[in-house]
Amino acid sequence: MLRRFCLRCARASAVILSQPSSSQTARWQQFDSLPSLELTACHFILESAARAIATRGFFSIVLSGGNAPRHVYRALCAAQTDWSVWHVYFGDERCLPADDPERNSHMAHTVWLDHVAIPSAQIHSIRGESGPDAAAASYVRELAVLGEFDLVLLGLGEDGHTASLFPGGGWEQTANLPAAIPVYDAPKPPPLRVSLSPGRLSHALQVLFLVSGNEKKQAVANWRAGVEIPASRILPTDGVDIFLYA
């Protein structure tokens, strides 16, 4: 269904607003249909990849879990790109068995990664099955050799959370967090998770939020009004892009 839309039409359907604040600069794009948002997101990702590959020969992307990116990932299966130089990371993971359908990595593999030629060594899953502490420590070591991400994909929860950074979590009161942190008390099941920290998610050339669903309206309203929520703690130098259909 996504292929029925042209990129020009998708862009024309968006209202683009820059919203600078004292900390985060957000470029909001309001879409009039979910397929339009998904198509534009797909092109956004591929354009980011093309720039990175032309500039330094590889592309590093951080994937979001949840339902918001599922159709985008599926559409990427048909993309024309040099998959051999893609490096895939994850913004968070649930501490469940590796083959559990609720794992973010399981969804990404099922709808996309298993269908393209990205070398398996370049798909950097979080080993959530090891438990939050061991998995976070392992991912810190894995990320230590990488500088800025080229692109980070994120979603938004009804409570304003992004990745597994939930409001009221201990991470909010902790300075100098490592690149990946254990989460013990997520308010949504499962409670045990691993998340990249706000600082590591912010260490990126581009950050794109994909937000859809009426249940997100209050979180979006708070965000746009300048109320601090976890999503507003993502502070890349060049600001964030937010694709919104809600």
Put residue 38 in one of left, alpha, beta given phi > 0 → left and psi -120 to 50 → alpha: alpha
- Residue 81, token pair as written in the block: 């790109």
Non-local (6+) Cβ contacts of 149 within 8 A are: 60, 61, 62, 89, 203, 204, 205
- Residue 170, token pair as written in the block: 């201990």
pTM for the full predicted model:
0.91
pLDDT confidence of 21, banded at 50, 70, 90?
A: very low
pLDDT tens digit sequence for 85-109: 999 999 999 999 999 999 999 999 9
Across 11-38, average pLDDT = 71
Provide the pLDDT for residue 106: 96
Provide the pLDDT for residue 212: 95
pLDDT tens digit sequence for 107-162: 999 999 999 999 999 999 999 999 999 999 999 999 999 999 999 999 999 999 99
Alpha-helix runs per DSSP H in the chain: 7-12, 34-56, 70-76, 104-111, 132-143, 198-202, 217-224
Separation between Cα atoms, residue 135 and residue 214, nearest integer Å: 34
For residue 195, which of 169, 234, 164 has the smallest C-alpha distance?
A: 164
Provide the pLDDT for residue 66: 85
CATH assignment, 25-217+225-241: 3.40.50.1360
**Is a pLDDT exceeding 50 seen at residue 8?**
no
Contacts 24+ apart (CB under 8 A), 15-24: 19/224, 20/239, 21/226, 21/232, 23/232, 23/235, 24/232, 24/233, 24/234, 24/235, 24/239, 24/240
Residues 16, 29 contacting (CB under 8 angstroms): yes
> How many percent of the chain have pLDDT more than 70?
91
- Residue 116, token pair as written in the block: 């393209």
Non-local (6+) Cβ contacts of 9 within 8 A are: 36
> How many percent of the chain have pLDDT more than 90?
86
